[in-house]
Amino acid sequence: MIQKERFMRFALCLLLGLYSIGLVSYTLATVLTAEAACTHCFKGEHGFAGGKGPNGKASTSTNRYVNVGYIGGTTSPNRFTGTDATNVSAAINTAASAWNGQVAEDNTSHTNYSVRQTRSANDVNVYVGMVDSVPGNKNACGGIDVQVDQNGNVTGAIMLLKKDAVQHLTPDQIAKIIEHELGHFFGLADIGNNSTGQCESIMDKANDASCT
Ligand SMILES: [Zn+2]
């Protein structure tokens, strides 16, 4: 749990970031998961119904588009620029491919989410921003703030990546963090607390100290 005052600052910071990319703000009823603090994800919330597909194609219950966009521009405190933007963009694509190609233990079942990167602010469902430290856990590489409306429907999310991780990990390693956080967006909880870094599942928690 994070303290209220801290959360308020977090929310304010994010709202400032969002205004700068022209997104209409909405009330944030949040489930914050910062790694090593995340013991649950959804508790009765309804999974994200899906966003816009390619060429405005609508999502269906079996094919729900999830548009991921990193925060750019010039004013948001959570923006990515230069090499950081290049790397996070590559990492988003890698994480999207990983989820889209993922099959269940029966080797055939697919998740009903279809993840893709977008640079169109109107289409973004999951924003990715950069922070000096993730609220709730200063050692976490990432965290995700899932937004839920008053009816319990997941409407979107803001994923935060730790600057130090973005700047010292490879795009493939950053992709693993994004992939893991997207798992939370889909409603998956952390499993175990892997301290070896030899994670068998993307939802295993990595060792904070190694931050990979
Ligand atoms: Zn997690």
**Residue partners of 94: CB distance under 8 A and separation at least 6:** 171, 172, 175, 178, 179
Which tens digits make up the pLDDT trace of 42-80? 667 788 999 999 999 999 998 999 999 999 998 899 999
- Please check the confidence at residue 123 and state whether its pLDDT lies above 60: yes
CATH class, domain 42-185, is alpha beta
Name residue 156's amino acid: G
Q: What is the pLDDT of residues 15-38, one digit of tens each?
A: 333 333 333 223 233 344 445 333
The amino acid occupying position 65 is Y
Residue extents of the structural domains in the chain? 1-37, 42-185
Average pLDDT over all residues of the chain = 76
Distance from the CA of 17 to the center of ligand 1, in angstroms?
23
Tell how far the Cα of 160 is from the centroid of ligand 1, in angstroms. 12
* Cα 189 to ligand 1 centre (Å): 7
So what's the pLDDT on residue 205?
A: 66
